[in-house]
Structure 1
Amino acid sequence: MQITAVTPPIHNKLVEDYWTAGSAIEPFFEYTYTEQSYKARLAYLQTQQYEHEQLAKVMREAMSEYSLSALTERHLQQLAQGAYTVVGGQQSGVFTGPLYAVHKAITVIQLARQQSEALGVPVVPVFWIAGEDHDIEEINHTFTATEQGIHKRKYKDRFLEKTMASTTEVTEEKLTQLINMVVKDYGEQAYTKTVVAQLREAAQVSTTFTQFFSYLLHTLFNDAGLLWIDAANPKLRQMESAYFMRLIEAAPEIAEQVTAQEQRLNEAGYGTPIYADQQAANLFYVKDGARHLLTRQANHFVAGEYTFTKAQLLALAQQHPQQLSNNVVTRPLMQEMVLPVLAFVGGPGELAYWATLKPAFTALDLQMPIFAPRLHITLVTTQTQKQLQHLALTVEQVFAGKHLRDKEAFIASVQATDALA
């Protein structure tokens, strides 16, 4: 395998501006993306308190379901002793979901390693699995490409509405059917036997979408020392009890501040990525594994048929925190309260909604971590490389659109010839 670093053109205004010093997006983030920012962020983290030992214990218990590499063990020990983290996350899609989930994991691992060396302190990589997410239709399928076209290959079952990925059950039989469909589409390849064996083993030991995801993530990155935690882990939820109470107390201010910030973001030309609502509680109530979005109505928190006073919701957070769940606004806030986050790794979509969150962090007397854009990786197969060579094109030229311009020029020349004829 050959790895080449290239700089592709950026077609997203927000992303382009994020990389540009002094741009209009800069005030929406706590830090610019520079080496100096890592030093400043570390200084801030050194003034904060975290439950390192309990956090490492919860992670170890979850990950010990599988074998742990020497490096993973070392990172767990370092975390227990006060290490900092680089964090990325993704929904628990089948086969690890979109390929950029793997790109995130690679970025998290590399960035943690780099900053550990640069700052002279232990920094460990952590993957935050969004097992609390309930959009099963977004995670239950993959796409394959054959000579006949693009095919959507789906885990075939009917699920209760709004059940979380970590409570939505899957069976070995139906996972195996999905695996077989994908393998049939692609046929025998150089590494098919090993990959299929790993997938079948994952199917054997998994009873939920999140277990299937975490097994494959662990298989891919255990040797690289990647730590991971399911956001819906019951032991983690117990750790989050007091943090949920903070979110409930601050719910009106968080909603107001995020709504105002999104309006400012829109006025700056970056759109409205989360459609914030001033009446949002930015939390879900969990009942029988299903999530119900809470809103604030008068002096109550309401989710469909369920209604809570503030006191009742605070009691729920204290006594049964597993019955609460975060949304797009509060997940980064919860992550900040649980983990000593040096940097968060995300893609363009995450960059957009994080741009609305700075005042939400402030409302909780927190500080937004550094946002580190994930690596963008393009896989060029041997067949594609041969086609590029045949057309005398480089990858950089394709990124720049030369092949499209060449195509348009060819069509124009043919049309001109036809007109003369």
Structure 2
Amino acid sequence: MPSPSFETAYAQGAFADFFQLAPKDTAAALELPRPVPRAALTAALGRSAEKLGAPEAALRNLERLAHPGSRVVVTGQQTGLLLGPLYTLSKAVTAIALAKRLSSEARPVVPVFWLASQDADSAEIDHSYLLDLRERLHRPALPLPEGVCAGRIPLPEAWLEALLCDLDALEVPEPYRREVGALLQRTAARAQSFSEWFGALLYELLGPAGLVVLDPMACDTAALFRPVLEAELAAPLRSVTAIGAAGAQLRRLGWTPQLGRGAGATNLFVEEAGQRRLLRVDGDGFRTERAHYTAAELRERLEHDPCALTPAAGLRPVTQDAVLPTAATVVGPGELRYFAQLRGVYEAHGVAMPLIWPRASVTVLEPPVRRILDKFGLSARELQRDFDGVMGETLLALHGHKAAFDESLAALKRHALELTRHASNIDPTLSGTVARAEARLTSVFGTLAKKSAAALSARDDLYTRQFGRLRAHLLPNGAPQERVLSPFSFFLKFGVQSVVEAFLALPPEGEHEVRF
């Protein structure tokens, strides 16, 4: 039996020492002390919301955030082109649904989306993937500068025009193409930076459901993080040491740590000539590849430009929860692993660690995919977990061969058990030899079954085409759909509102299918 995933182990309470709250303990999460700069926060978010075109429902939630007992459910993501992969939408609607579940008149709970506008990995955000009606995978991309924070990248009109030209090459219904084009134009007109465009899109799509967007590169918002950043400058290796200790403990338990830092590395970046560069400890000061700084010089830079210093992944959640009254943070599987190393960082800064809530997972099933799955009695999830194995077993069954393989393998196991009993009666040490022989024969049977399925596939054009379509939709580029395709892939085929409404109807946990 395979070992449980990190997420499953977390849900089962296997990492109690690494998190402040037990999984799903929402009652305790709502009671976490949150002494945050509420008035300054709501004022800063309000100015950003007005600039990005937030609708009335989002503005009402900002008013609720001003309530002294309010809490938030926060999530976030890199500001990828066309909202990046589909799980961006899944994370946002998970936060909305969980906030709605927890909210009350006495204690309003507001969903917040943190734009990763401080991120500078352009190779991860400069493109998106779209699958058209002819099942051709398109990769529109923009020439983002490398090493520049997304919030510092301007949004020239030529980029929008180039993107709209890329969309013209897709085989999609013309009314939906026009709808998407108008959406992109409206939101781009409100944005000055690449990341602000992402925020404007979120406000238009999910603002009516009450989502509030936080841009940490907005100057008046960034100024709120200064106490955490200055505390980090005062003890720059404290958080790194805590992360390393948690990583060592995870390794002892058999898990690979997600976060690590080289010698002298801190959890801070400094902006130099427009580039985001890691700060390292150097004697009683700091250095990058280009320059040396004293702590006083860095504090002065922060005073004049609150965006000059930005946190690394090992500090960013703490800056977030030092200014937001966070009850729960919605995360993906990879983020869950690095949060497991952050409890000591929260404690070092005197910030309560929120409840960590794994996001809902969503796969969209288009009509041809739905029909093929129903025909074969398959689920999208089982194909995404082992496509070739499931396809092979299905082809063997369709051609009447699976039963023979299963019966032969069952007979082998029966004979092996009988042989083991006989051998153990003769000499108990021989049972291991029999078990190894059984394992080798089982492997041979498995290889034979795979080769037989491949032979059937090669001569069966109809089934091969149908499974090829399933692979194109469910595992584009060899990865699960939600990690590759943009939500715009579906906006362009089914309309923006129908897709958004389908996602908003989902509960904030579990694995789901959205069928069109």
TM-score by length of 2: 0.72
Instruction: Determine whether 1:229 maps to 2:269.
Output: no
Q: In terms of mean alpha carbon deviation, does 278-287 or 84-93 score higher? A: 278-287
In structure 2, the partner of 1:309 is: 294
**Residue 21 of structure 2 is aligned with which of 24, 31, 37?**
31
Q: In terms of mean alpha carbon deviation, does 319-328 or 92-101 score higher? A: 319-328
Q: In terms of mean alpha carbon deviation, does 242-251 or 143-152 score higher? A: 143-152
In structure 2, the partner of 1:3 is: none
SS at match of 2:213: strand
**Residue 227 of structure 2 is aligned with which of 242, 252, 270?**
242
Distance between the aligned counterparts of 2:6 and 2:295, measured in 1?
37
Distance between the aligned counterparts of 1:190 and 1:378, measured in 2?
24
SS at match of 2:95: helix
Q: Which amino acid aligns with 2:296?
A: A
Aligned-pair identity (%): 26
Instruction: Determine whether 1:122 maps to 2:108.
Output: yes
**Residue 98 of structure 1 is aligned with which of 85, 88, 94?**
85
Q: Which amino acid aligns with 2:110?
A: V
**Counterparts in 2 of 1:404 and 1:74: CA distance versus 1, 3 Å:** farther
Give the structure with the higher percent helix: 2
**Counterparts in 2 of 1:78 and 1:204: CA distance versus 1, 3 Å:** closer
C-alpha deviation, 1:203, in angstroms: 3.4
User: In 2, are the aligned partners of 1:284 and 1:326 still within 8 Å (CA)?
Assistant: yes
Q: Which amino acid aligns with 1:257?
A: A
Distance between the aligned counterparts of 1:413 and 1:338, measured in 2?
57
In structure 2, the partner of 1:51 is: 37
**Counterparts in 2 of 1:274 and 1:183: CA distance versus 1, 3 Å:** farther
User: In 2, are the aligned partners of 1:165 and 1:210 still within 8 Å (CA)?
Assistant: yes
**Residue 172 of structure 2 is aligned with which of 187, 203, 206?**
187
User: In 2, are the aligned partners of 1:86 and 1:125 still within 8 Å (CA)?
Assistant: yes
Instruction: Determine whether 1:74 maps to 2:60.
Output: yes
In structure 2, the partner of 1:357 is: 342
User: In 1, are the aligned partners of 2:45 and 2:214 still within 8 Å (CA)?
Assistant: yes
CA deviation profile, 1:59-109 (whole Å, cap 9, x unmatched): 010010244433212211111222211100011111111111111110111
**Counterparts in 2 of 1:364 and 1:388: CA distance versus 1, 3 Å:** same
Instruction: Determine whether 1:201 maps to 2:196.
Output: no
Distance between the aligned counterparts of 1:43 and 1:201, measured in 2?
40
Q: In terms of mean alpha carbon deviation, does 184-193 or 350-359 score higher? A: 184-193
Q: CA-atom RMSD, angstroms?
A: 2.6
In structure 2, the partner of 1:16 is: 8
C-alpha deviation, 1:415, in angstroms: 5.6
C-alpha deviation, 1:261, in angstroms: 1.2
Instruction: Determine whether 1:412 maps to 2:452.
Output: yes
Unaligned runs of 5+ residues in structure 2 are 400-450, 459-516
Q: Which amino acid aligns with 2:137?
A: I
CA deviation profile, 1:347-399 (whole Å, cap 9, x unmatched): 00100111111111111122211100011011011121122233343446646
**Counterparts in 2 of 1:386 and 1:380: CA distance versus 1, 3 Å:** same
**Counterparts in 2 of 1:11 and 1:88: CA distance versus 1, 3 Å:** farther
Q: In terms of mean alpha carbon deviation, does 384-393 or 134-143 score higher? A: 384-393
User: In 2, are the aligned partners of 1:172 and 1:206 still within 8 Å (CA)?
Assistant: no
**Counterparts in 2 of 1:400 and 1:350: CA distance versus 1, 3 Å:** closer
**Residue 151 of structure 1 is aligned with which of 134, 138, 156?**
138
Distance between the aligned counterparts of 2:54 and 2:290, measured in 1?
44
TM-score by length of 1: 0.88
User: Whose Rg is larger?
Assistant: 2
Distance between the aligned counterparts of 2:281 and 2:339, measured in 1?
23
**Counterparts in 2 of 1:373 and 1:299: CA distance versus 1, 3 Å:** same
**Counterparts in 2 of 1:179 and 1:12: CA distance versus 1, 3 Å:** farther
User: In 2, are the aligned partners of 1:130 and 1:230 still within 8 Å (CA)?
Assistant: yes
Distance between the aligned counterparts of 1:138 and 1:316, measured in 2?
28
Alignment of 1:381-400 (within 5 A): 381-395=366-380, 398=383
Distance between the aligned counterparts of 2:3 and 2:201, measured in 1?
32
**Counterparts in 2 of 1:65 and 1:413: CA distance versus 1, 3 Å:** closer
C-alpha deviation, 1:314, in angstroms: 3.1
In structure 2, the partner of 1:178 is: 163
Instruction: Determine whether 1:259 maps to 2:244.
Output: yes
SS at match of 1:175: helix
CA deviation profile, 1:214-251 (whole Å, cap 9, x unmatched): 11111111110100111111111222222211121232
CA deviation profile, 1:272-322 (whole Å, cap 9, x unmatched): 212233522211111343211101122111112221122332333344332
C-alpha deviation, 1:179, in angstroms: 2.8
Distance between the aligned counterparts of 2:224 and 2:383, measured in 1?
49
Q: In terms of mean alpha carbon deviation, does 176-185 or 53-62 score higher? A: 176-185
Distance between the aligned counterparts of 1:414 and 1:338, measured in 2?
56
In structure 2, the partner of 1:168 is: 153
In structure 1, the partner of 2:72 is: 85
Distance between the aligned counterparts of 2:128 and 2:198, measured in 1?
13
**Counterparts in 2 of 1:203 and 1:76: CA distance versus 1, 3 Å:** closer
Unaligned runs of 5+ residues in structure 1 are 1-9
In structure 2, the partner of 1:212 is: 197
C-alpha deviation, 1:133, in angstroms: 0.7
**Counterparts in 2 of 1:204 and 1:312: CA distance versus 1, 3 Å:** closer
**Counterparts in 2 of 1:244 and 1:408: CA distance versus 1, 3 Å:** farther
User: In 2, are the aligned partners of 1:171 and 1:203 still within 8 Å (CA)?
Assistant: no
